[in-house]
């Protein structure tokens, strides 16, 4: 429930401020005043001295698994995980059962997200029926539904047929949509188990070549240019991919790209221990690729950080490497990993973090009311973050149904202290709250 809240002394970081300390008065789910020495009788006071205030984080790439795979995650459990990580909005990928390829399914997801109340859940629609890559899904019906879908993806599968991809790009122009491509040539990655290179050769594992990602991105930016449509590249992971996106942007092509926290920090060397927590698609790459994607995010070639939060039950990971599922959970750890990989290394400032983890993902997804400046009149969706502590990331930090995090027992900086979603406190003094029907 929204209440009157007075936040005192937070260091505001957004597109309109650069770390200045200020008080924020929140009432009716909105910021009503920003300034110094504010007061309001009866308001709940939050002492934010030393805390960074960011617009609520927005994740353009989350797997919530519901409907169909509730053993891994539900919209409620995933929303709780998101709030714990400082998120106030997540875009739910369509690889559910049934696949989110109709207006009915995306409206169901929207309703479940609203009922949970922790974050805004914005469904992503599938590009093709059943994500099979054979014919276009009901893009127009999903766009005009109550879910107002603007992002479409077959994530987990590449829209490999160039004619289908072209038609999808043409179709979404009518309602300012965007196609988010999982760039993976399926023929070049048959049986792939990890990044192709020296380590895969030493371990005897089938490699996933960088060219399988880069060739699809190169094709699709040219298709986007040809039809004059918007393309978004999911979980970019190689130095060559960064070069292609940089070239496309210089050419004026309407392309955006994301990188995951794990591709900013972790390398293929971790696969040597055959710990399936490190098995992901696209795979962990070389140190050179990690440095390239960091530089690409820092110079604006890569637009956003997206988690690719992919929960799996324990049995899907507690098995031999070849049989293990791809994917990592990442909502609770994302901001801490970005601090370690980008802020503490001097590559990004906190204003930049607000841009790549809130403002720009909301803009790409055309999500109103999120990623907005922390100024009077805007929705009170924000995160208060303490960058100073350093401690191991533990099982108690996870709030979803799955524990397949690659960061367990790894020291990470920072802590989300408070999260507010449209004026409702979802995280209070570092603890996830019970809200709504769950209270």
3-state secondary structure 316-354: HCCCCHHHCCCCECCCCCHHHHHHHHHHCCCCCCHHHHH
**Which residue among 101, 303, 308, 397 is the active-site one?**
308
Q: How far is CA 100 from CA 76, 93, 151, 156, 242, in A?
A: 17, 8, 12, 13, 30
Query: Would residue 308 show up in a list of annotated catalytic residues for this protein?
Result: yes
**Whole-angstrom distance, CA of residue 355 vs CA of residue 54:** 10
Partners of 57 in beta bridges: 87
CA 65-339-14 angle, 5° bins: 90
Count of C-beta atoms within a 10 Å radius of residue 47: 12
Separation CA 88–CA 421 (nearest Å): 5
Alpha-carbon distance of 175 to 361, in angstroms, equals 18
User: Quick one: how many helices (H) and strands (E) in the chain?
Assistant: 12, 19
Q: Which of 223, 339, 203 is nearest to 272 (CA)?
A: 203
For 167-186, the DSSP string reads HHHHHHGGGT-EEEE----T
Task: Determine contact, residues 49/382, Cβ cutoff 8 Å.
Answer: no
Q: What is the DSSP letter of 108?
A: H
Indicate which residues carry an active-site annotation: 308
């Amino acid at each position: 429930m929204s209440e009157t809240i007075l936040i005192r002394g937070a260091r505001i970081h957004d597109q309109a401020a650069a770390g200045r300390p200020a008080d924020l008065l929140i009432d009716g789910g909105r910021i009503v005043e920003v300034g110094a020495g504010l007061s309001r009788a009866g308001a709940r006071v939050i002492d934010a001295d030393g805390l960074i205030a960011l617009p609520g984080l927005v994740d353009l790439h989350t797997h919530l698994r519901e409907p169909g795979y509730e053993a891994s995650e539900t919209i409620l459990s995933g929303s709780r995980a998101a709030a714990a990580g400082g998120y106030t909005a997540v875009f739910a990928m369509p690889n559910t059962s049934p696949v989110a390829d109709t207006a009915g399914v995306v409206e169901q997801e929207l309703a479940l997200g609203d009922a949970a109340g922790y974050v805004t859940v914005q469904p992503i629609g599938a590009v093709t029926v059943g994500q099979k890559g054979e014919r276009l899904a009901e893009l127009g019906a999903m766009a005009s539904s109550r879910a107002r879908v603007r992002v479409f993806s077959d994530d987990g599968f590449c829209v490999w047929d160039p004619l289908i991809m072209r038609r999808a790009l043409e179709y979404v122009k009518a309602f300012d949509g965007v196609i988010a491509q999982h760039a993976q040539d399926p023929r070049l990655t048959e049986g792939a188990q990890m990044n192709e290179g020296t380590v895969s050769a030493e371990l005897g594992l089938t490699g996933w070549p960088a060219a399988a990602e880069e060739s699809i991105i190169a094709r699709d930016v040219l298709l986007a240019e040809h039809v004059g449509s918007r393309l978004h590249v999911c979980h970019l992971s190689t130095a060559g991919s960064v070069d292609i996106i940089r070239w496309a942007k210089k050419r004026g092509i309407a392309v955006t790209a994301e990188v995951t926290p794990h591709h900013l920090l972790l390398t293929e060397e971790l696969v040597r221990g055959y710990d399936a927590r490190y098995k992901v698609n696209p795979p962990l790459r070389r140190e050179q690729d990690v440095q390239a994607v960091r530089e690409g995010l820092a110079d604006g070639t890569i637009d956003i950080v997206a988690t690719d939060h992919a929960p799996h039950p324990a049995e899907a990971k507690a098995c031999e490497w070849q049989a293990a599922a791809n994917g990592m959970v990442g909502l609770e750890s994302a901001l801490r990993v970005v601090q370690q990989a980008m802020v503490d290394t001097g590559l990004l400032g906190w204003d930049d973090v607000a841009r790549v983890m809130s403002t720009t993902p909301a803009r790409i997804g055309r999500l109103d009311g999120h990623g907005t400046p922390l100024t009077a009149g805007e929705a009170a969706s924000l995160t208060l973050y303490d960058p100073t502590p350093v401690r191991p990331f533990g099982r108690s930090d996870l709030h979803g149904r799955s524990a397949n995090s690659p960061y367990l027992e790894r020291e990470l900086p920072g802590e989300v202290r408070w999260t507010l979603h449209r004026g409702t406190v979802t995280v209070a003094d570092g603890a996830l709250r019970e809200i709504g029907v769950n209270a």
